[in-house]
Each structure stands twice: as structure tokens, then as C-alpha cells.
Amino acid sequence: MKSIQIRIKNQVGLHARPATLFVQMAQQHEADITVSYEGKTVNAKSMLGLLSLGVSKDSIITIAANGSGEELALSSLTTLIENNFGE
């Protein structure tokens, strides 16, 4: 299992559009992926789960991946976040 902590920099945090892109990217990977924020952990492939975290701008989340392709999964999701979800 590998994990990273990363800051959400886009203006509105993980609202519907960036959350959708995040979930779509997570679903492309075989690894089990979770997102943790303020003591709550959800499946990164679940839109409702991700939105339920209420992640706002400048929040730091932890993304963990376990299984086949875990490093690639973390790399892809990190790139998506660092590019502000294309916004």
C-alpha cells in the first residue's frame, strides 16, 4: 500500500465537476483507492463518498492505493489535482 498527502488548490475544492474527474480517473485503475479527510475515509471510486467529505480549497487529503498499479494510480491522481482538475 502506498499513500500520499496533497493539497487541493482549486477555488471550490472537490465540488461536483472535479470530484467527477477524480472518480473517473480512479476507476481507470485496478488498485483499491481511498481518500481520507478529517478522520473520514471513503472509496475514491464513489462519487457520493467523495462529495460527502466536503473537501474545500487548501484542504489536505490523503490518497491511498493498494494493489496492482498502485503507484500509477497515485501518480495519475496527483497529476489531476496538481493541474487543478483542468479548471
Residues designated as active site = 15
61: β partners: 6
3-state helix/strand/coil string of the chain = CEEEEEECCCCCCCCHHHHHHHHHHHHCCCCEEEEEECCEEEECCCHHHHHHCCCCCCCEEEEEEECCCHHHHHHHHHHHHHCHHHC
